[in-house]
A and B are shown apart, each in its own frame.
Chain A
């Protein structure tokens, strides 16, 4: 699955290349993951709840974004928050006439703000947003999970977290409460940026080094397929979904990377001497 989109606002133009892949895994019979990779919106939702409830929950999130966000333009941050809130309402409604269902959501969107484009990352639950700079993989999102809270408290180490019995317990989800708060990041669009969005079926099977190795070798579309294949091969205990999106942004503005050192007073005076009339 390969997608290319070009978006622009003000002085920034960005072209997006994306790929997505999903697999039921080696153990499960139903794939409860959903994803969206189109236009300005890229997301992964990992549904939970028996009897296909998780399936429907993650699809409700996808549908909420599809119906509310225009495909061709950059969204706004409030539109994204609105779609998340609407998704929460949809999943709550699902639970009313069926088993309790919920879903995670991890995504990035190109949003327009004050005449420029930004990456907005958002997360609820334990699906992940990773940033890849061509060399290093960095986890941008912070899991809403029991294990993450133990980690934050220093009660367990990263190594202990990987095998902790409660590592499937999440503390925030779409559909869990009447109102849901996403964690949000806003990043300037500069040069080449790559994001990986994935369900925990991928991040629990592959370590960061392995993920980075696959990302560095392939274009986004191939990388998504290769990542899912590698996670399934490594065990595939859960549904595995990956969305990889890469942006190449060009700004006609000034140098965004480096802050200039202001000239000292004397240097300024040397340069600013006016001609005497």
Chain B
């Protein structure tokens, strides 16, 4: 996991994904998507190609580190530096100053590194994958050492190894961290048991009324005396009649039915899909490769969102609803499971079929990079 120092007014951007970390000066925001796509591709050479596509003189100042192997591979150009701390405790600094192209270095046994373009001291925030305005980016992605600069920045008493994540997390995760926002991704390690326990209560608690239950009609009243309206002849003449006591029956039902869920918490809660589209959570949303719903009663029909392009996603994978102002996520017995990453928490796999309340800012991960962000305007 990377940490960055947010710097809202900066022209520098920290862009990270998996083992690639890029700090780039970018006057023209329109290239950010290209940079992120290149970093997301995982190949440092592609990133270099994208940075230099308009020629050497038009290439921005940048620092780029690939730490996928035991040997860190770094490039640095212009007024920024890369400092690598090896497992032996030695530091190697590379700078782009005084070079018309860029400096390239390989550093063996790299434990952590810092990309710095003139940082101001603020609080370091974690970043698994994404883009943030920042002039300082650090990685403790291997075993952290006491020299790790994150230590001094974070209020946490100690830095533990990064959380042990499910196979598809978070390397495949894509989020875009707003420059000023609080953490979008875990800050606590999995081993931070005492702290986790406090929050687990919030995230694992099952709400009493499951969504599925709510969608099903209450048990039918047994019509003890179905009071026929007309005198029927010996056999049925096929005429359909509406029972006299239907009104009573319906009235009885109305009392049993919980009051129609108010459009709780206003329409401001939404689900942001990976392509940036927002699904308002005014009605339940069911997401999957080929979603369907069965026998729901008129008023609150779920909206079905088809997630294409990944066969690992189940037909009905996950349901997101708002109940009493709280966003509730339910894994619909998907084959490959659903994870939720609450702000500042490690990913947590949902129990199948169990409704789980989540906070705004939570990322819902269906695996293989299919992520949803719970947001609020």
Contacts and interface: CB of A to CB of B under 8 A. Distances in A.
Interface of A: 11, 25, 27-28, 46, 48, 77, 81, 84, 100, 102, 104, 113-116, 118, 125-126, 142, 146, 149-150, 152-153, 155, 165-173, 176-177, 180-188, 190, 200-201, 204, 237-238, 253-262, 264-265, 268, 274, 276-277
A186 B292 contact: yes
Interface centre among B44, B250, B297 (most CB of A within 10 A): B250
A181 B299 CA distance: 7
Interface of A: prevailing SS? loop
Interface of B: prevailing SS? loop
Given A153-B220, A190-B290, A262-B312, A184 B295 contact: yes
Nearest to A147: B226
Given A181-B299, A254-B309, A274-B43, A149 B242 contact: no
Interface centre among A169, A176, A253 (most CB of B within 10 A): A169
B68 interface: yes
Given A116-B306, A188-B315, A238-B238, 20 more contacts: A28-B238, A77-B303, A84-B298, A113-B303, A114-B304, A125-B240, A146-B223, A149-B220, A153-B222, A168-B241, A169-B229, A169-B241, A169-B242, A181-B299, A182-B298, A185-B293, A187-B292, A188-B292, A238-B237, A262-B168
Nearest to A125: B240
Contacts of B306: 114-116, 188, 253
Contacts of B308: 11, 253-254
Contact of B238 (A150, A185, A201, A268): A201
A177 B240 contact: no
B359 interface: no
Contacts of A261: 312, 335-336
A9 to B, nearest CB: 11
A228 to B, nearest CB: 14
B45 interface: yes
A122 B232 CA distance: 30
Contacts of B334: 259
A198 B69 CA distance: 66
23 contacts: A48-B240, A77-B303, A104-B240, A113-B304, A125-B240, A149-B222, A150-B223, A153-B222, A176-B247, A182-B297, A185-B296, A188-B306, A204-B238, A238-B239, A254-B308, A256-B289, A256-B315, A257-B290, A259-B289, A261-B312, A262-B168, A262-B312, A262-B368
